[in-house]
Amino acid sequence: MDFIQEIARAISEVTDLDINDIVQSIEIPKADMGDYAFPCFRLAKTMRKAPPLIAAEIAEKMKKPEFLSDIKVVNAYINFYVDKTVFVKSVLDEVNKKGGKYIESETGKGKTIVIDYSSPNIAKPFHIGHLRSTAIGNSLNRIYKALGYNVVGINHLGDWGTQFGKLIVAYKKWGDKEAVEKDDIKELSKIYVKFHEEAEKDPSLEDEARSWLVRMQEGDEEALSLWKWFCDISMKEFNRIYDRLGITFDSYAGESFYNDKMAAVVDELKEKNLLTESRGAQIVDLEKYNMPPCLILRSDGGTLYPTRDISAAIYRKNTYDFDKCIYVTALDQNLHFAQWFKVIELMGYDWAKDLVHTPFGLVSLGDGKLSTRKGHVVLMEDILNMSVEKTKKIIEEKNPNLEDKERVAEEVGIGAIIFDDLFNSRIKNVVFDFDRMLNFDGETGPYAQYTHARACSIIAKSGAAKSESNVDYSLLSDEASFNVCKVIKEFPEKLEEAADKNEPYIVARQIIELCKAFNKFYNENNIMQSEDATKKARLSIVFAVRDILKAGLDLLGLKAPEQM
Ligand code: ARG
């Protein structure tokens, strides 16, 4: 039952207010002020009375819906108290019917969302800076899917551009085929770093690199075969990581995919009189909009990062007809996106408004930004391995007899990293700290997974296969049981909010709320030793929590092991 809707209906019957407006104004008050509250301040103008009087009048006139135990007026608020048994029954009946699908909805039915995320650059290592885009994008993908959207996940691989010219020069000068074959991406990134060191002393190397890029663009066989080789080597490493993270994409159309599509876009920009020449280059002047110009063609005819993004956006609109296209990248790309979004608008495409940049803050190890150029990179794979190793040690201490330790350590170790990344609002910088993320008692992935495993183990011990249908819910009238149901009931709204704001942390925090509520319930109520009817009732909470936690963790891209 939708309590808010029902309360709003009862209020609308005794006022001139629109039911949807009432729904919008109903709040969830702080402790002891009831379960829902309706503030009457806004009505003072039209009703020409003091808000507390209005509150009293509505409360007096309205017909109390059956599921309410009480209605009280406090100043300008009408506070509604839900009958606990009715509330608990309505939540648990539904969860036990739908399982984890309880939190899903069909809000997005018929709408398409494109999400561009992860998108690492080929021939550079997958470092922990890429972690954020990967984790956030993957979670948004799952969140939108749970809301019924058709989601297209795109890995816009950085597989074209100046870095290849540099890499070809570096490889021809200092590369060794065998070393690359053996140490793949590490060797490539080593010579890439060397290129930058050498180019500082000898700037002509940069010209050489540019001429190799031009050769690539002209279809030169040697240039292209080296390029292809570098791509294959990188993809092998990326796929190893995606497999471990459980991530797949619907499309891997990277920057090179647009090579044969950019000429038409450049022509279109010309036709629409948007291109101007500036020192030999072709640009779109954005001075009017207080931005530096958007670079479209270099003086040597080479295309640029924005050229490829503009082409990609037009291609995606034509191919997927998206309602929204979301780009998950670091905050330092803000200007890039603002510029080319503006170009799309100036081209006359009204869907420019549906392009959304979803930026995030930096990850650091506590000592500044991670960089590929200077060579202080922290490889993603090393980080995953470290976390899994540490988790193995913790499991060894906590539960030495656990079956399948390797798998659980992998699921918990990797889950810890992802959860930690998603626990705060995107824009906040993240300082990497294993002690924090692996704390089984903190607000962490392992804590949430552990709580889920606890629910699974209670169920296993009870011998029940599923929640029973004839439960006496009046046995769950204690505050702790009620509170678990309240947190579950809020979950679907939190999911909507997470999608509205593109913020997975809203889901992560709701998971922690549910874990806390459940652990309190577990500490206060003996489940196994209680008498039959009570045990049955309490178990119905355990089943519900198990299903909601599993579904919630899945929204963040975490596995939910049954034992830990
Ligand atoms: N490859 C870029 C990087 O590593 C991210 C690409 C993001 N997507 C896009 N369509 N520009 O910084």
Task: State the distance from the centre of ligand 1 to the C-alpha of 463, rounded, in angstroms.
Answer: 50
Give the Cα-Cα-Cα angle 366, 370, 374 (nearest 5 degrees). 125
Choose, from 84, 89, 130, 550, the residue flagged as catalytic.
130
User: How much is the pLDDT for 182?
Assistant: 82
For residue range 248-299, list pLDDT tens digits in order: 999 999 999 999 999 999 999 999 999 999 999 999 999 999 999 999 998 8
Residues with CB under 6 A from ligand 1: 116, 119-121, 156, 158, 309, 327, 329
Ranking 141-145, 233-237, 365-369, 473-477 by mean pLDDT, the lowest is 365-369
**CA distances for 133 relative to 137, 164, 207, 301, 396, angstroms:** 6, 23, 32, 31, 32
Calculate the dihedral angle through the C-alpha atoms of 477, 480, 481, 486, rounding to the nearest 10 degrees.
110
Examine the pLDDT at 534 and tell me if it is beyond 70: yes
The minimum-distance atom of ligand 1 relative to the CA of 157 is: 1
User: How much is the pLDDT for 445?
Assistant: 98
The minimum-distance atom of ligand 1 relative to the CA of 329 is: 7
Q: Which residues have C-beta within 8 Å of that of residue 396, sequence separation ≥ 6?
A: 405
Pocket test residue of 116, 117, 119 for ligand 1, highest count of atoms within 8 A of CB: 119
User: How much is the pLDDT for 162?
Assistant: 83
Other beta carbons less than 10 A from residue 366's beta carbon:
7
Choose, from 84, 89, 127, 166, the residue flagged as catalytic.
127
Give nearest CA residue, ligand 1 atom 6: 119
Domains and CATH numbers, the chain: 3-82 (3.30.1360.70), 117-364 (3.40.50.620), 380-556 (1.10.730.10)
130 as an active site residue: the answer is yes
For residue range 135-156, list pLDDT tens digits in order: 999 999 999 999 999 999 999 9
Pocket test residue of 131, 132, 156, 164 for ligand 1, highest count of atoms within 8 A of CB: 156
Segment 13-29 mean pLDDT: 92
Task: State the distance from the centre of ligand 1 to the C-alpha of 113, rounded, in angstroms.
Answer: 18
What is 167-199 written as a DSSP string? HHHHHHHH--HHHHHHHHHHHHHHHHHHHHHHH
Give nearest CA residue, ligand 1 atom 11: 309
Residue 331 β-bridge partners: none
Task: State the distance from the centre of ligand 1 to the C-alpha of 422, rounded, in angstroms.
Answer: 20
Task: State the distance from the centre of ligand 1 to the C-alpha of 239, rounded, in angstroms.
Answer: 17
Integer Cα distance of 27 and 493 in angstroms: 12
For residue range 450-491, list pLDDT tens digits in order: 999 999 999 999 998 888 888 999 999 899 999 999 999 999
User: How much is the pLDDT for 377?
Assistant: 66
Task: State the distance from the centre of ligand 1 to the C-alpha of 438, rounded, in angstroms.
Answer: 30
Examine the pLDDT at 369 and tell me if it is beyond 60: no
With cut-offs at 50, 70 and 90, classify the pLDDT of residue 373: very low
127 as an active site residue: the answer is yes
Contact assessment for residue 517 and residue 91, using Cβ atoms and an 8 Å cutoff: no
User: How much is the pLDDT for 370?
Assistant: 47
DSSP letter at 63? Answer: P
Integer Cα distance of 387 and 381 in angstroms: 10
User: How much is the pLDDT for 367?
Assistant: 56
Examine the pLDDT at 366 and tell me if it is beyond 70: no
Task: State the distance from the centre of ligand 1 to the C-alpha of 353, rounded, in angstroms.
Answer: 20
156 as an active site residue: the answer is no
Task: State the distance from the centre of ligand 1 to the C-alpha of 156, rounded, in angstroms.
Answer: 6
Pocket test residue of 333, 336, 356, 362 for ligand 1, highest count of atoms within 8 A of CB: 333
Work out the percent of the chain whose per-residue pLDDT is above 90: 82
pLDDT higher for 177 or 335? 335
The minimum-distance atom of ligand 1 relative to the CA of 337 is: 11
Choose, from 84, 124, 317, 452, the residue flagged as catalytic.
124
Give nearest CA residue, ligand 1 atom 4: 120
Residue where the block lists tokens 């089943």: 543
